[in-house]
Amino acid sequence: MTTAGTWEVLLDPYDYDFHEDPYPYYQRLRDEAPLYRNEELGFWALSRHSDVLAGFRNSTTLSNKFGVSLDPASRGPHASKTMSFLAMDDPSHLRLRTLVSKGFTPRRIRELEPRVTEIATQHLDVLMEKGTDGTVDYVGDFAGKLPMDVISELMGVPVPDRDQVRAWADGVMHREDGVTDVPAEAIEASLNLIVYYQEMVAERRKKPTDDLTTALLEAEIDGDRLTDDEVLGFMFLMVIAGNETTTKLLANAAFWGHRNPDQLSPLYDDLDRIPLWVEETLRYDTSSQILARTVAGELTLYDTTIPDGDVLLLLPGSAHRDERVFEDPDDYVIGREIGSKLMSFGSGAHFCLGAHLARMEARVALAEWFKRIRGYDVDEANSVRVHSSNVRGFAHLPISIQAR
């Protein structure tokens, strides 16, 4: 068998068994087919840490301009309309990212933290009250609400509109079992969201306020400014990339903390260890498992030439379990040395602009939760995983809580 040859174990990002536990599949890929080819679905895949890292950092031969998802409706020259600079190459990517960075600053994120704490506290009040009567849905009542509300706070969405905006955002991402492409309901939710944001942008043009939407409209470098469509594209990227992945991060942390109580118990008395919990969750079971690139020109790996235009998948979910890089990678060890080996937010030119926001949200949310509880249990039998070709996490995570 060659490294890129036909392989008896199929890597199918749409397969439900793969969604339940992709890690045995990844192990075999790393060992037996580090460059994998799926003829039926038309993609290549890289699974070893060194190859995935090199792939993220190769923004010339590996192009983003057709998007970063394998889903057919998300791929193509139109991808940047909803994925902003994530679906662009330089120089367009660099221009747009630099302008957006003028408004989406580390300082703005730092100043947002007190409001994130308030929003988290509001949702936790509801979670804890419901939890007195038995099990609650950690995703439905907390992890699925906080990230979108934080994005709405950042953008300046009025509080009375936030439930509706969150419902549309959920609709954009929702997939029924067996659906591998973007369904009509998701397209309708996307249109509703775009129309809402269009009206918001028009309103900010007339009446600026102190929010990210206004900051994006006012961002300027040597007379160059973002167009309304570019602002809308970034707002939509926040909904897709910033909302869902943070929801999954919070639920994955809760699930693996439950599975590893010896690792979790010290955190109840030492909240300063919460960021270490976040980092190990990002390594052990990252939200963003699979990201697509398109080969531009020719790329030769493992004595195999990948043709121009072919899709190559980068598998950070596999890279983080690579025993060539991490000791005992299948063990969940809060506080292990990870550092720059983490690729949950990518690497190189396309490193996630929202990484600091996601980490802050997760740290605040988990710390505020642990201030209120002395323990919790997950009802694994009734937990429901999402079925996605690139994101891993839970649609529902029923838990019972022991309050302090």
Tens-place pLDDT, residues 165-217: 988 887 876 666 555 566 778 888 889 999 999 999 999 999 999 999 999 99
For residue 20, what are the CA distances in angstroms to 38, 124, 253, 377?
20, 28, 16, 20
Is 10 domain-assigned? Answer: no
pLDDT value of residue 4: 47
- Give a yes or no: residue 5 inside a domain: no
Domain enclosing residue 295, as ranges: 16-403
CA 196 to chain centre: 23
What separation in angstroms does the CA of 134 have from each of 127, 183, 254?
Answer: 11, 35, 17
Asked if residues 217 and 205 have their Cβ atoms less than 8 Å apart, the reply is yes
CA distance 224 to 222: 6
The label of the residue with tokens 């045995």 reads: 24
Helix (H) or strand (E) holding 256: helix 244-259
23 to 41, 137, 255: CA distances (angstroms): 20, 26, 16
Domain membership of residue 8 (yes or no) is: no
pLDDT tens, position by position, for the chain (404 residues)? 334 444 466 799 988 899 999 999 999 999 999 999 999 999 999 999 999 999 999 999 999 999 999 888 788 888 888 889 999 999 999 999 999 999 999 999 999 999 999 999 999 999 999 987 789 999 999 999 999 999 999 999 999 999 899 888 878 766 665 555 667 788 888 899 999 999 999 999 999 999 999 999 999 999 999 999 999 999 999 988 888 899 999 999 999 999 999 999 999 999 999 999 999 999 999 999 999 999 999 899 999 999 999 999 999 999 999 999 999 999 999 999 999 999 999 999 999 999 999 999 999 999 999 999 999 999 999 999 988 888 899 989 999 999 98
Q: How many domains does the chain have?
A: 1
Global pTM value: 0.94
Is residue 6 included in any domain, yes or no?
A: no
In a domain, 261, yes or no: yes
Whichever domain contains 134, its CATH number is: 1.10.630.10
Residue 7 domain-assigned?
A: no
- β-strands 43-46, 311-314 pairing: parallel
Whether residue 327 lies inside any domain: the answer is: yes
Burial of 272 by CB count in 10 Å (0-12 exposed, 13-18 middle, 19+ buried)?
exposed
- Residue 87 resides in a domain: yes
